[in-house]
Amino acid sequence: MKSQHKNTFFSPQKSINCGGKLLTFEKPLVMGILNLTPDSFYDGGSHADMDGILHHTHRMIYEGADIIDIGAVSTKPGAADVSFEEEHDRLIPVLENIKKEFPEAIISVDTYRSRIARIAVDKGAHIINDISAGDFDKDMFRVISELKVPYIIMHMKGTPSTMQQNPVYNDVVEEVCSYFVEKVTALKKLAANDIIIDPGFGFGKTVEHNYELLNNLEYFSIFDLPILVGISRKSMINKVLHITPDEALNGTTVLNTIALMKGANLLRVHDVKEAVEAVKLVGTL
């Protein structure tokens, strides 16, 4: 069994420092998704005005979100690139308003640009969530090291515009693990210590690849780093059940529960209340 392998090269990490606030993973945490894009696969365009954005943020915090993850670039399969200026103009006013209205909230910014990361942290963001793990911007690792903020690295084969065009692996679990060995080693050499890993469900993987990763999720505990799982309403649910993302809440909860039982430390979700309930129920086992 792959999940039986153990490696002690990396030291255990049970918490991350978010701007002086210690966020612990003694129990799994929930990250609520705030999409600012008009074309995200599930809720694109749903949060187009500031009042609606702040209302949705308030709801997620009220329902128990530990982190709010703000994204201003769509990364769904086939998504077109967005310029720095457009990402900046979508993101920064929202970030400033959320910090003003919810000063205690832990904010993550979903970006692969080091310039955006630097500006976002200057404006009060606590975490950078990079779908490319530094592959799209070679300055990102250096900037993260300088900023001393928690950094989420995700595995993706290809780019959002190409990633679902016949992705092939000899062994998806081994290849994703090897990718993280390389990335984590490079980050630790730069003294970037608050690292979270994300296997990248749906990013350059077939449905079969996704379930192979989920079935072996505990294998990634070899890093002794927090593991983020982002399955919410994705095609690995919809294609199996022949439903739309709008109909995928139940399937999302089922797979989130499995992920929690296999060692997930952080769930990235559209539906906070249901994820928080899953964490509580699994915590009773």
Averaged confidence pLDDT in the chain: 91
Helix or strand or coil: residue 260?
Answer: helix
Full strand arrangement of the beta sheet holding 195-198:
195-198, 151-154, 127-130, 107-110, 67-71, 29-35, 266-269, 228-229
| Burial zone of 269 (CB within 10 Å; 0-12 exposed, 13-18 middle, 19+ buried) | buried
pLDDT band at 4 (very low <50, low <70, confident <90, very high): very low
Q: Taking a C-beta distance cutoff of 8 angstroms, is the pair 228, 196 a contact?
A: yes
Domain ranges of the chain: 28-279
* 264 strand-pairing partners: none
In the block, tokens 């720095």 appear at 84
Chain segment 139-161, per-residue pLDDT in tens: 999 999 999 999 999 999 877 76
pLDDT higher than threshold 90 for residue 162: no
CA distances, 168 to each of 2, 53, 146, 206, 208 (Å): 20, 38, 36, 8, 11
Q: What is the mean pLDDT of residues 179-207?
A: 96
Q: How many helices (H) and strands (E) does the chain have?
A: 9, 10
Q: Which of 119, 38, 39, 23 is nearest to 78 (CA)?
A: 39
CATH architecture of 28-279: Alpha-Beta Barrel (3.20)
Query: Rounded to whole angstroms, how far apart are CA atoms 88 and 283?
Result: 39
Q: Please give the pLDDT value at position 233.
A: 95
Percent of the chain residues topping a pLDDT of 90? 82
Q: What is the mean pLDDT of residues 215-235?
A: 96
pLDDT higher than threshold 90 for residue 180: yes
Q: Taking a C-beta distance cutoff of 8 angstroms, is the pair 90, 39 a contact?
A: no
Q: Please give the pLDDT value at position 80.
A: 73
E-strand stretches of 1-102: 15-18, 21-24, 29-35, 67-71
Q: Is the dihedral of CA 156, 162, 164, 166 positive or negative?
A: negative
Chain segment 54-99, per-residue pLDDT in tens: 999 999 999 999 999 999 998 777 667 889 999 999 999 999 999 9
pLDDT higher than threshold 90 for residue 46: no
Q: Report, as residue numbers or ranges, the catalytic residues.
A: 234, 268
pLDDT band at 7 (very low <50, low <70, confident <90, very high): very low
Q: What is the mean pLDDT of residues 172-195?
A: 96
pLDDT higher than threshold 50 for residue 2: no
48 or 148, higher pLDDT: 148
2-6, 115-119, 206-210, 213-217: range with lowest mean pLDDT: 2-6
Whole-model pTM: value is 0.91
pLDDT band at 6 (very low <50, low <70, confident <90, very high): very low
